[in-house]
Amino acid sequence: MEQQLILDDALIAKYDQSGPRYTSYPTAVQFHEEFTADDYAGIARSTNASGRPLSLYFHIPFCDTICFYCACNKVATKDRSKGDEYLQRLYREIALQGELFDRDRPVEQLHWGGGTPTFISHAEMRELMRVTGEHFQLLPDDQGEYSIEIDPREATAETVAVLREIGFNRMSLGVQDFDPRVQKAVNRIQSEEETLAVLNAARAEGFRSVSIDLIYGLPHQTRESFENTLERIIEVGPDRLSVFNYAHLPQIFKPQRRIQADELPPPETKLEILHMTAAKLAEAGYVYIGMDHFAKPDDELAVAQREGTLYRNFQGYSTHANCDLVGMGITSIGSVGNCYAQNLKGLDDYYKAIDAEQLPVFRGIRLSRDDELRREVITRLICNFSLDFSAVEKQWNIDFQEYFGPELARLSGMADDGLLEISGQNIQVLPVGRMLIRNICMVFDAYLKDSKGQRFSRVI
């Protein structure tokens, strides 16, 4: 039962509420505009004393067509020249950011996300990596974790070869659902052949890890229809799978207004789909990492979780805990030293800042010591499903039981419900608590009292 997803319907019903996914703590809701680009630059420079490795995130926002469910930061366009306009500014940002960090800090992790990173041409991909290498210390092939999000409709075997050539060794493929009826309802028509062509090319080119994204809770989905998709995915055996819960928040994400609410599966069906998914993936030998992610037991994420070294950032789970994360491109968020900093969200604003040779940071937050301590506690819980008080006490020079007295008292109700066990020295999340890990983390979130719950997605 180690690392399996066990579902308890009554507990899920009891704890099903909106909550953050904790890709950061404090969450982006707490970022504010008093935090400036100069604040960011100062903190970034100060991290050079640590010599810590770097993680680079590049946001490529363009998509040829928009999937109606999409909650990502994207820009719809069929005009490919928009890519060049954007990249010219991104290269400038790479130079501006590169000036802040010592050149000998190795880039252990690199990620292109979107939008659709493969919207740009092969020549532009090569150029983007070349410019990056001019300003940062990229690692020789395969020593780093270099990953990209791929829409199989926007990539060929040749694209995959180019990506491997310029240093990528991990990828995630957006699939969502193979059912034509579902695909039509969400405006994402994608054949199984397109997906398999990219997956097979990735294997042929020696990609170390291939992940597939699915979404449950989309229009017309039933347990049977999703089982069909899942079976076909299991057959091709990706190293990892993300099975996201569709978050229908049409008041926040405009394209979702084109999804008919009455075509969405009811919560009971979503729960059935989740039960089926947990059972099928366990049977196929996948382990549950947490927060929608599954992996083969020998995948590095599963290994890191067993060894207690798993980490979580904006791209999800990772094995690189000790990096400063530099975000580049519109909307991207960096996590550097004791701050988070976010770039401008609109293309025009971003271009204006870059053309004036300014870092395009528009908001962020400098973490207090309490923020950093709570971030550590939340990260350990969400990654490892356990928390050893003494490790935290040693690092932060606190008495855990005293500092977190009110939180431990609140957790005791969850312990009574069987979500976790609390001993004098440790919190251990039990198998039925894993699905509800964000509820457990929310107890340690000092900001939730005054935040608006509807900004976050629900557990189911």
Q: Is 244 among the residues that bind ligand SAM (CB under 6 A)? A: yes
Point out which span in 50-58, 62-70, 280-288, 356-364 binds ligand SF4 (CB under 6 A). Answer: 62-70
Query: Binding ligand SF4 by CB under 6 A: which of 26, 115, 217, 327?
Result: 115
Distance, CA of 260 to CA of 186 (rounded, Å): 10
> CB of residue 316 vs ligand SF4: minimum separation in angstroms?
15
**71 touches ligand SAM (CB under 6 A):** yes
Q: What are phi and psi of 59, to 5 degrees?
A: -100, 120
Check residue 347 for interaction with ligand SAM (CB under 6 A).
no
Q: Any contact of residue 60 with ligand SF4 (CB under 6 A)?
A: no
- Residue 20 preceded by cis peptide, ω within 30: no
How many Å apart are CA 325 and CA 57, to the nearest integer? 7
Question: Which of ligand SAM, ligand SF4, none interacts with 58 (beta carbon under 5 to 8 A by kind)?
Answer: none
Interface of this chain with ligand SF4, residues 122 to 151, rule: CB under 6 A? 151
Candidates 67-75, 163-171, 223-231, 298-306 — which segment interacts with ligand SF4 by CB under 6 A?
67-75
Strand ranges across the sheet with 386-388 = 386-388, 426-429, 420-422
* Residue 202 C-beta: closest distance to ligand SAM, Å: 14
Residue 149 binding ligand SAM, by CB under 6 A? yes
Strand partners of residue 106? 137
Q: Judged by CB under 6 A, does residue 238 bind ligand SF4? A: no
The answer to whether the Cα torsion of 417, 384, 272, 261 is positive or negative is positive
Phi and psi dihedrals of 245, rounded to 5?
-85, 120
**Ordered alpha helix ranges (H), 19-169:** 37-46, 81-98, 122-135, 157-165
Distances (CA, A) of 185 to 326, 391, 425: 37, 49, 51
Instruction: Give the nearer residue to ligand SAM in terms of CB position, either 12 or 247.
Output: 247
Give the binding-site size for ligand SAM (rule: CB under 6 A): 17
Closest CA to 190 of 166, 214, 224, 208: 214
Stretches 16-24, 70-78, 341-349, 431-439: which one binds ligand SAM (CB under 6 A)? 70-78
388, 308 contact by CB (below 8 A): no
SS3 at position 37: helix
Helices (H) and strands (E) in the chain, counts: 17, 20
Q: Please give the structure tokens belonging to residue 17.
A: 């509420």
Does 69 sit near ligand SAM (CB under 6 A)? yes
Is the CB of 47 or the CB of 256 nearer to ligand SAM?
256
Q: Which is nearer to ligand SAM, 113 or 364 (CB)?
A: 113
Contact residues: ligand SF4, CB under 6 A: 63, 66-67, 70, 72, 74, 114-116, 151, 174
Residues that bind ligand SAM (CB under 6 A): 69-72, 113-116, 149, 151, 174, 176, 213, 215, 244, 246-247
